[in-house]
Chains A and B, each alone.
Chain A
Amino acid sequence: MNDSFRRGAKEGFGALFPLSLGLIPWAMVTGVAMRSTGLSVVESMGMNLLVFAGTAQLGTLPLIGSGAPLWLIVLTALVLNLRFVIFSAALAPAFVGQPLRRRLLTGYLLVDGVFAVLSERLLKATDPHWRWGCFIAPAAWCWVLWQVFAFVGVIGADALPSDWSLEFMATIALLVMLVPMAASRPMLVAALVGGIATVMLRGMPLKLGLVAGIALGIAAGFVAERWQDDRRRA
């Protein structure tokens, strides 16, 4: 722990702290949603530690609850996590030269907020100690917040009445994430097509309708983006 590590840690933590408090309701809702799907306290915290990705957790809960085939659950989680490939590619230059265990830890801890707030700082910096401090301090803080408040939700779920349709909290959480995303026209097209196609294709065997619906949504968003670009150019 040298001085530049400490300065980086201070900078990163200060930048992310206000936003990180927004994780609290998410973590608690995820905790409640895991319990109301039917997971035990240990299973819920196991999921929280192993997956550590709110969207993938909330998105796969209904599939776990309905006993969907394993491949479909894993594929859905993969699709929900695909955005991280973009984050990972963008941030990779900042971690070249770090030891493998640090890169592995980064692969576990890189959540949306950390990328959104810190990527510019991390890529601009040249000192690897400063960089590592600027990443690991706020990233570890987010992890602690997520685990602690998910645990509050997991324990608190018992105190809530069981006939309140609390599993709907997962749907609400997914909607809250979707609304700001759908602000751009092609993104809205991707969401509408993805949603409506999945409902229309629900009769497909092996729940393939979900996979097909998502694929159609992605394609529709991409096509809409091309149209928008062409119109701007014309």
Chain B
Amino acid sequence: MIEGAWLWITLVLIGSTTILTRGSFIIPGERAKLPPVAQRVLRYAPAAALAALVAPDILLDAGDFDPFNPKMAAALAVIAATAHWRNPWLPFFIGMAVLLVLRKGMGW
């Protein structure tokens, strides 16, 4: 865990990426255009990054590749719930319920 002054520096820098990206074309206040190829490439950044952050958490167990673990089961339930229902709370309830039942209830 990053703590103290370093944490605040980290938070300021993370925050600066918000302003830099959201303001990239608006703050200069000119009619600049983003090249079409850049637009197409940038579209894939969030999906690739989200998956890259999620995958290690659900595919690894204590650092080793093991797709059969409680987090994976919970993730599959979350994906199913998100795909089938529009209720924004449901994936959180279902995901946490699956994880807790498997871990606490069944000791997996």
Chain B's closest residue to A68 (CB) is B2
Contact of B9 among A24, A70, A81, A197 (CB under 8 A): A70
Among residues 30 to 63 in chain B, which have CB atoms less than 8 Å away from a CB atom of chain A?
30-34, 39-60, 63
A117 interface residue (CB < 8 Å to B): no
CA distance A190 to B52 in the complex (A): 10
List the A side residues contacting B30 at CB < 8 Å.
Answer: 92, 96
Size of the A side of the interface (Cβ < 8 Å), in residues, is: 98
Q: Does A205 contact B (CB under 8 A)?
A: no
- Give per-residue flags for B88-102: 1 if the beta carbon is below 8 A from chain A beta carbons, else 0: 110110011001100
Q: Which of A29, A57, A65, A97 contacts B1 (CB 8 A)?
A: A65
Please state if B53 and A62 are interface contacts (CB–CB under 8 Å).
yes
Q: B2: which A residues are within 8 A, CB to CB? A: 64, 67
A189 and B103 CA atoms in complex are apart in Å by 31
Residue of B nearest to A22 (CB): B88
A180 CB, min distance to chain B CBs, angstroms? 7
Q: Is the CB of A80 within 8 A of B49?
A: yes
Contacts of A26 in B (CB 8 A): 88
Judge whether A64 and B7 touch: CB under 8 Å. yes
Residue picked from B24, B45, B74, most chain A C-beta under 10 Å: B45
Query: Which residues from 136 to 194 on chain A have a C-beta closer than 8 Å to any C-beta of chain B?
Result: 164-166, 168-169, 171-182, 186-187, 190-194
A-B contact pairs, 10 of them (CB 8 A): A56-B14, A83-B42, A84-B22, A89-B39, A91-B25, A106-B26, A177-B46, A202-B56, A214-B45, A214-B48
Q: A77-B14, A179-B83, A190-B48 are in contact. List 17 more A-B contacts (CB 8 A).
A: A43-B8, A43-B11, A70-B9, A76-B49, A83-B42, A85-B42, A88-B21, A103-B26, A107-B23, A168-B95, A171-B54, A174-B54, A175-B50, A176-B88, A179-B79, A215-B48, A221-B47
A contact set with B: CB distance below 8 Å: 22, 24-26, 29, 37-39, 43, 46-47, 50-53, 55-57, 59-60, 62, 64-67, 70, 73-74, 76-89, 91-93, 95-98, 100, 103-104, 106-110, 164-166, 168-169, 171-182, 186-187, 190-199, 202, 210, 213-218, 220-222, 225
Query: What is the interface of chain B, defined by CB distance below 8 A to chain A?
Result: 1-2, 6-15, 17-34, 39-60, 63, 65, 71, 74-75, 78-79, 82-83, 88-89, 91-92, 95-96, 99-100, 103
